């Protein structure tokens, strides 16, 4: 009779383990869905980052163009104001010179009329009109000097007026050209300002989309973290149930009567512990999270193996060869590829640090990278692939033989 409570307890432990396993599977499916959506949203956010950067550069170019046209327009307007002021000054100077010329011409006309009235004997009359010879000579000289000065003054005034007319024409033509340039520059400025406003609206829209994606990404991150916590609790519960079931089985096996009763029920199914891999030929030692042909944590098919190991653990080359690639790659993070010859290549992904550069020779067992989480991986692990002629092959047997 004592065996029945123990048998019942064992059944309950098995039931708890089964329920925990089911809940764990549901949580893992939800986590995979959240992680898939999280990666999709992150990809959209990165794409929007590129668009936002391009829109920012375009807006900067528009701002620079608007600033340049504004500076040019301001200079043109300043030049136009200076030319207008110069034109006003020239017009005032021309008016003054024109009055001076008119006065000089009137004086010259008066002298000419006086000379005409006196006739050809005007100098003789001026000479006879004086009481003394010296005074007569001075009168004749003064009269000639006055006439020559008036003529020269008129010639200079006429030349100055012609020069002012020429300058005035140049200023008028230049002002017309500047007026046209001002209108064209103002139209260009208005067009550039409209384009800048359009680019600013585009950038604002992209910024809003970016913020929406970033908020969604944070929310998904929180969901993923919560699911990961739930999975940890479920795994712990499943592990406790497995341990309790194992202890109950051990007690049953120790009592023949309990073994007889236990033979009448189905054996408990405990979750298998993670497979430990590693050895001389493996790139790193740790728990096998995904085998060749299995499923990666994000749900994708695995063309290699995913091995969990502490961050910073050295990743070793599986065979002699030459590094042909060492850089960051989408989906793989920091990745290093070694060519081993005969069509074989090995690939080491999600590393935190790459220790070799392209072209570097490596020997089997040489550290080539360190385990990490680059490329968006949730846990520290190495993703390792072996390819022959570009086709993924199962590395387990090949690594075991190395």
Q: Is the dihedral of CA 32, 34, 38, 40 positive or negative?
A: positive
Please report which confidence band the pLDDT of residue 229 belongs to, taking 50, 70 and 90 as the band edges.
confident
Look at residue 392 in the predicted model and tell me its pLDDT: 92
pLDDT average, residue stretch 254-262: 54
Please report which confidence band the pLDDT of residue 157 belongs to, taking 50, 70 and 90 as the band edges.
confident
Residue from 184, 244, 303 nearest 6 by CA: 244
Neighbours of 390 (CB within 10 A): 7
The answer, yes or no, to whether residue 340 has pLDDT greater than 90, is: yes
- Euclidean distance between CA atoms 84 and 90, whole angstroms: 10
Please report which confidence band the pLDDT of residue 250 belongs to, taking 50, 70 and 90 as the band edges.
low
- Exposed e or buried b for every residue in 256-268, given b needs 16+ CB within 10 A? eebeebbeeeeeb
- Euclidean distance between CA atoms 107 and 153, whole angstroms: 11
Residue from 156, 113, 118 nearest 140 by CA: 118
pLDDT average, residue stretch 16-37: 69
Neighbours of 94 (CB within 10 A): 17
Beta bridge pairs of residue 388 = 344, 391
DSSP state of 384: E
| Residue 315: both structure tokens together | 């990743």
Please report which residue ranges of 255-268 form alpha helices under DSSP H.
Answer: 256-263
What is the separation of C-alpha 29 from the centre of its chain, rounded to a whole number of angstroms?
36
Length of the chain counted residue by residue: 402
- The three-state secondary structure class of 374 is coil
Please report which confidence band the pLDDT of residue 89 belongs to, taking 50, 70 and 90 as the band edges.
confident
Q: Please tell me the number of Cα atoms within 13 Å of 175 on its side-chain side.
A: 14
Q: Could you identify the residue written with the tokens 């064209």?
A: 184
The dihedral over CA atoms of 28, 32, 38, 42, expressed in degrees to the nearest 10, equals: 140
The pTM (predicted TM-score) of the whole model is 0.36
The answer, yes or no, to whether residue 206 has pLDDT greater than 90, is: no
Residue from 193, 121, 108 nearest 154 by CA: 108
Q: Burial-class residue 359 by CB neighbours within 10 Å (0-12, 13-18, 19+).
A: exposed
Neighbours of 153 (CB within 10 A): 16
**Segment among 102-106, 252-256, 397-401 with least mean pLDDT:** 252-256
| Residue 100: both structure tokens together | 């001076």
Please report which confidence band the pLDDT of residue 86 belongs to, taking 50, 70 and 90 as the band edges.
confident
Neighbours of 192 (CB within 10 A): 19
Radius of gyration of the chain (CA): 51
181 versus 228: which is more confidently predicted?
Answer: 181
Residue from 247, 371, 252, 361 nearest 307 by CA: 371
Q: Could you identify the residue written with the tokens 């060492």?
A: 326
- Exposed e or buried b for every residue in 42-52, given b needs 16+ CB within 10 A? bebbeebeebb
Residues 6+ apart with CB under 8 A from 387: 344, 345, 346, 347, 393
The answer, yes or no, to whether residue 117 has pLDDT greater than 70, is: no
- Euclidean distance between CA atoms 349 and 77, whole angstroms: 63
The answer, yes or no, to whether residue 335 has pLDDT greater than 90, is: yes
Domains, the chain, ranges and CATH? 1-271 (1.10.287), 276-401 (2.70.70.10)
Look at residue 337 in the predicted model and tell me its pLDDT: 95
Average pLDDT in the chain: 77
**Segment among 5-14, 30-39, 268-277, 334-343 with least mean pLDDT:** 5-14
The answer, yes or no, to whether residue 347 has pLDDT greater than 60, is: yes
Q: Could you identify the residue written with the tokens 């968006």?
A: 376
């Amino acid at each position: 009779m004592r065996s029945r409570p123990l048998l019942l307890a064992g059944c309950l432990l098995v039931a708890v383990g089964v329920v925990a396993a089911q809940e764990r599977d549901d949580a893992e499916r939800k986590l995979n869905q959240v992680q898939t959506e999280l990666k999709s949203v992150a990809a959209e956010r990165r794409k929007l980052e590129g668009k936002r950067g391009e829109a920012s550069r375009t807006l900067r170019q528009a701002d620079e163009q608007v600033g340049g046209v504004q500076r040019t327009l301001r200079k043109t307007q300043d030049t136009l104001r200076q030319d207008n002021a110069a034109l006003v000054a020239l017009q005032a100077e021309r008016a003054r010179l024109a009055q001076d010329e008119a006065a000089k011409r009137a004086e010259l006309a008066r002298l000419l009329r006086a000379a005409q009235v006196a006739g050809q004997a005007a100098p003789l009359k001026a000479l006879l009109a004086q009481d003394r010879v010296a005074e007569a000579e001075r009168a004749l000289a003064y009269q000639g000097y006055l006439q020559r000065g008036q003529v020269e003054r008129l010639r200079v005034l006429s030349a100055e007026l012609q020069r002012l007319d020429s300058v005035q024409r140049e200023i008028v033509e230049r002002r017309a050209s500047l007026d046209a340039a001002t209108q064209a520059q103002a139209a260009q400025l208005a067009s550039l300002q409209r384009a800048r406003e359009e680019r600013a609206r585009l950038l604002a829209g992209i910024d809003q989309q970016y913020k929406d994606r970033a908020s969604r990404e944070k929310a998904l991150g929180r969901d993923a973290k919560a699911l990961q916590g739930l999975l940890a609790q479920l795994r712990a519960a499943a592990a406790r149930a497995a341990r309790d079931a194992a202890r109950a089985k051990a007690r049953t096996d120790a009592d023949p009567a309990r073994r007889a009763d236990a033979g009448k029920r189905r054996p408990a199914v405990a979750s298998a512990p993670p497979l430990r891999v590693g050895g001389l030929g493996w790139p790193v030692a740790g728990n096998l999270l995904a085998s060749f042909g299995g499923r990666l944590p994000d749900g994708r098919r695995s063309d290699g193996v995913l091995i969990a190991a502490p961050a910073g653990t050295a990743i070793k080359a599986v065979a002699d060869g030459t590094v042909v690639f060492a850089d960051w790659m989408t989906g793989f993070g920091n990745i290093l590829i070694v060519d081993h010859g005969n069509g074989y290549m090995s690939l080491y992904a999600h590393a935190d640090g790459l220790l070799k550069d392209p072209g570097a020779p490596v020997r089997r067992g040489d550290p080539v990278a360190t385990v990490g989480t680059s490329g968006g991986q949730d846990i520290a692990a190495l993703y390792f692939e072996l390819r022959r002629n570009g086709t993924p092959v199962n590395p387990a047997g090949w690594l075991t033989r190395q």
